[in-house]
Structure 1
Amino acid sequence: MVLISVVRDYINKMLQDISGMKVLILDSQTVSVVSVVYSQSELLQKEVFLVELVDAVSKSSESMYHLKAVCFLRPTSENIQLLRRQLANPRFGEYHLFFSNILKETQIHILADSDEQDVVQQVVEFYGDFVAIDPYHFTLNMPSNHIYMIPAVVDPPSLQHFCDRVVDGIAALFLALKQRPVIRYQRTSDVAKRIAQEASKLMYQQESGLFDFRRMEVSPLLLVIDRRDDPLTPLLNQWTYQAMVHELIGIQDNKVDLKSIAKSSKDQQEVVLSSEQDSFYKANMYENFGDIGMNIKKLVDDFQQIAKSNQNIQTIEDMAKFVDNYPEYRKMHGNVSKHVTLVTEMSKIVEERKLMLVSQTEQELACNGGQVAAFEAVTNLLNNESISDIDRLRLVMLYALRYEKESPVQLMQLFNKLASRSAKYKTGLVQFLLKQAGVDKRTGDLYGNRDLLNIARNMARGLKGVENVYTQHQPLLVQTMESIIKGRLRDVDYPFVGNHFQQGRPQEVIIFIVGGTTYEESRAVALQNATTSGIRFILGGSVVLNSRRFLKDLEEGQRISRSSAPMI
């Protein structure tokens, strides 16, 4: 609950202390912040009768003096200018200004000078500058996520903007949690180092007074790492419910767009997947696909029993009871319909793309050695007419990441085969991935074959066997969390920023992945928190990736790198 409850508390404070009819004014990013933790019906209960975007409000001239404007905005220069214009000619009777991060003194002066009609009642900082999609998982929803792949010299302003946004999000998180961490970063990543140093400068120098919270026995840890250290996880097909929905259909701010699905009813064209609002989803979001089918059958059976009992209305008392229970009945009907639609659609995609066949080879590439068998398996799938272009590309990428040093000749054969079989394949994309995230660039032991402890662990797993061939893979993040718990995270690989060091094991660890998180990693964090006492992990990233988004970022990074390459 930690992240969700923090943001909900902010919104509760915003809305409940202002009586009367209200309009909630948001920007394109705070819309996401609010929508993942607060439903429309809850907003109505707080007398919010209108929700508008700040740029749309500024374009309209219609006066609504009976409404009080509650603005929740990021403190960007654009938003300050939009507010300035609004305050010069106010549409609403009162303005209550809440900002999701630290306001600059100059911005406060601009707002004060603009409020000539004295409509601003309060200006408050509420630190909700991140999207709390799960209790231990947040994202910054950054549109230009590929920027972290571009060398600093290519586009310095874009990289600085990217780093500034990440630092803002991290700062807001720690202000919301009322903590100041010690900071470590991945040594091999320039962008992780830059973000870590700038976050440290903000917390310990520029805004040290704001972050001067009560000292904890052991300071929390912020670890900034780079997606390119584990390019494997976002390339794999997923077989647990939440991760699978995102991989095959897509989740944005806990919503799933089903408009393209022919059989989806009008009220099911966009559905919400929230562990806070849906008990079935909460219980099953980390379950395997096979188990989900059985659990949905039980959900349908339970609903049919309730529906049958509602058909036996014979007395006035029966009717009154049905009316009382009708909202709950409607909610259950919507839930059943939503999950049946999602699982049906995913089953169809799995069959059409032969994903069980593809995924078996993916998991072998990710978890088990054997270059000859891997080459044969990938070659066979490239020749299979039923395999989609995106799956062929991912298979070659997974093979390349694993065997780039062992089999350059076979790798070139797969590149040629891929180019001839897949019309949409962008030449050199696999090579760009290796340049970005190949073995020479990575810090962690991605395949568990460098470190004796990891080799022994993999052997033990192999001897025990795995419960499900499709979910053998564990993200590199699992190793990282284990190293932190055991105090084995090497200083040489993950240096501290400045003169700050950690004595003892931290009780709170925030891991931020520059370049994006995955729902497989979010699941690993939730399971770790459920089994380890005395230490709590929170995961954050610039976006939430699935394979399509990761490949899109790679393509965009490759395009910019090519266009900026010097002419020979």
Structure 2
Amino acid sequence: MMLRMRRELGGREPQITPQIDNLLILDRNVDLLTPLLSQLTYDGLIDEIFGINNTSVKLPPEKFMSSSQAPEEAPTEKKKIILNSSDELYGELRDKNFNAVGSLVSKKAKTITAEFDERHAAKTVSEMKHFVSKLPHLQQIRQSLSIHTSIAELIKEHTDTEEFMDSLRCQQEFINGLETDKAHPYVEDCIGKMEPLDKVLRLMCIQSYCNNGLKPKVLDYYKREIIQTYGFEHFVTLMNLEKVGLLRQHGQRNYPTIRKSLRLIVEEVNEQNPNDISYVYSGYAPLSIRLAQYNARPGWRSITEVLNLLPGPTIEEIQQIPVALRKRRSSITSSHSSVMDQKVTLVVFLGGVTFAEIAALRFLAQQDDGGTDYVIATSKIITGTSLLDSVMEKCSPVHLNPF
């Protein structure tokens, strides 16, 4: 893309001062595993369970009824909640691992209660005036706290289920390289119970990825079980998944090398106070974000062999910028040095990005001591289910003759 722009300019560099220091373009095919896994951040779980559309989510209305309302007065339409950074509490919660959300909400509730109690200690007119000035903000925070407590309760109802925990355990086994070379008992149980097909297909695709494809015997067995249980029309579904490589026969085992070299699995992960991007999946570091991390420091030359194992070519281009057009770096003594020295990296995800990956990039920016700021551009926000749906839509249909 950059080479094409340069050709259109007749080989000349643009005569403007660039605001973006680095451009990183990641094709979704480089990392199909991450979106297939269950996201474990607050934002990610909301999207996985309820679906976030244009920064809004529609939720069951009964959780947002006031205590004075009778059950028969419950609204029939779903409650629409706007999720954006103008909500101070949401800004704090969105990137947290869900296991850290409860303690943060509880701490915030105690703080708000204490601030409201200050009105009893106010004796003078000046103290009363100070409290009244804070009142609108306190009321806004309390309302936000009520909303997010209800959302957290809805999420917990889902994550506490046996089905969710069993699925998560199965995923953890796959990404750790366990039980990947044979039909997994949990996947078989899900098919036997006719659980949602998208859940079964996600698990099958995760197993295929982590095993670098399934043995022909295992793949044929899964396909036969899917068709017999969910209907022969899903032969098309399976063909489409094979066409894009989400399901495939066993080949060279690259995933174990990638997993080890890029430290995708982190054993000791702190979900409350994380020190690594792996917290967004409770022990798994998104491959896409690990690549962004290596790109920033120490550079991709340190992982050349691993890059060769990933699908597609790796292209690195350095743009020569005239000295006069380069960003001016301030001196160490300058009060604006932290702002001026900050590098901006634009990360473009072709094929979609998950909320968990966005959270991981934000975490990287915070951990980099202000050295790098990340701007994200993408074609869309995705989950594993929406990724599979898009594959089904884009693949050309296979015509079946049942006779």
Q: Name the TM-score, length of structure 1 as normaliser.
A: 0.52
Deviation of the 1:521 alpha carbon: 1.4
Aligned match of 1:377 in 186, 199, 209?
186
8 A contact 1:303–1:333 mirrored in 2: yes
8 A contact 1:231–1:437 mirrored in 2: no
Code of the residue aligned with 1:540 in structure 2: it is: A
Q: Which residue of 1 aligns with 2:220?
A: 412
Code of the residue aligned with 2:292 in structure 1: it is: M
8 A contact 2:212–2:253 mirrored in 1: no
Matched, 1:273 2:71: no
8 A contact 2:56–2:81 mirrored in 1: yes
Distance (Å, rounded) in 2 between the aligned partners of 1:476 and 1:254: 26
Aligned match of 1:240 in 37, 41, 47?
41
CA spacing shift, 1:233–1:430, aligned 2, 3 Å: farther
Q: Which residue of 2 aligns with 1:495?
A: 315
Matched, 1:348 2:157: yes
Distance (Å, rounded) in 2 between the aligned partners of 1:418 and 1:311: 65
8 A contact 1:221–1:509 mirrored in 2: yes
Aligned match of 1:519 in 355, 368, 373?
355
Code of the residue aligned with 2:40 in structure 1: it is: W
CA spacing shift, 1:447–1:335, aligned 2, 3 Å: farther
Q: Which residue of 1 aligns with 2:329?
A: none
Code of the residue aligned with 1:273 in structure 2: it is: L
8 A contact 1:393–1:425 mirrored in 2: no
Matched, 1:212 2:47: no
Matched, 1:543 2:342: no
SS class of match (2:284): coil
Distance (Å, rounded) in 2 between the aligned partners of 1:253 and 1:207: 40
Aligned Cα RMSD in Å? 4.2
Matched, 1:226 2:62: no
SS class of match (1:252): coil
Deviation of the 1:361 alpha carbon: 0.9
Distance (Å, rounded) in 2 between the aligned partners of 1:370 and 1:249: 31
Aligned match of 1:432 in 216, 232, 240?
240
Q: Deviations over 1:224-259 (max 9, x none)?
A: 33212222111111111122222212223332223x
Distance (Å, rounded) in 1 between the aligned partners of 2:177 and 2:15: 48
Deviation of the 1:312 alpha carbon: 9.5
SS class of match (1:509): strand
Distance (Å, rounded) in 1 between the aligned partners of 2:233 and 2:239: 12
Distance (Å, rounded) in 2 between the aligned partners of 1:455 and 1:501: 35
8 A contact 1:382–1:417 mirrored in 2: yes
Q: Deviations over 1:309-337 (max 9, x none)?
A: 66899999898666544422320222111
Aligned match of 2:366 in 513, 519, 530?
530
8 A contact 1:310–1:322 mirrored in 2: yes
CA spacing shift, 1:431–1:369, aligned 2, 3 Å: farther
Distance (Å, rounded) in 2 between the aligned partners of 1:338 and 1:215: 42
Q: Which residue of 2 aligns with 1:480?
A: 291
Deviation of the 1:372 alpha carbon: 4.8
Q: Which residue of 1 aligns with 2:397?
A: 562
Distance (Å, rounded) in 2 between the aligned partners of 1:243 and 1:447: 28
8 A contact 1:264–1:341 mirrored in 2: yes
8 A contact 1:242–1:519 mirrored in 2: yes
Q: Which residue of 1 aligns with 2:334?
A: none
SS class of match (1:512): strand
Aligned match of 1:360 in 159, 169, 181?
169
Distance (Å, rounded) in 1 between the aligned partners of 2:315 and 2:262: 26
Distance (Å, rounded) in 1 between the aligned partners of 2:379 and 2:391: 15
Q: How many residues align?
A: 350
8 A contact 1:397–1:430 mirrored in 2: no
1:177-192 map, 5 Å: none
Q: Name the TM-score, length of structure 2 as normaliser.
A: 0.71
CA spacing shift, 1:239–1:423, aligned 2, 3 Å: farther
8 A contact 2:182–2:218 mirrored in 1: no
8 A contact 2:170–2:186 mirrored in 1: yes
Distance (Å, rounded) in 2 between the aligned partners of 1:421 and 1:446: 30
Q: Unpaired segments of 5 or more residues in structure 2? A: 66-74, 272-278, 322-341
Say which structure, 1 or 2, has more relative contact order (CA 8 Å, 6+ apart): 2
CA spacing shift, 1:291–1:482, aligned 2, 3 Å: closer
CA spacing shift, 1:313–1:418, aligned 2, 3 Å: farther
1:36-115 map, 5 Å: none
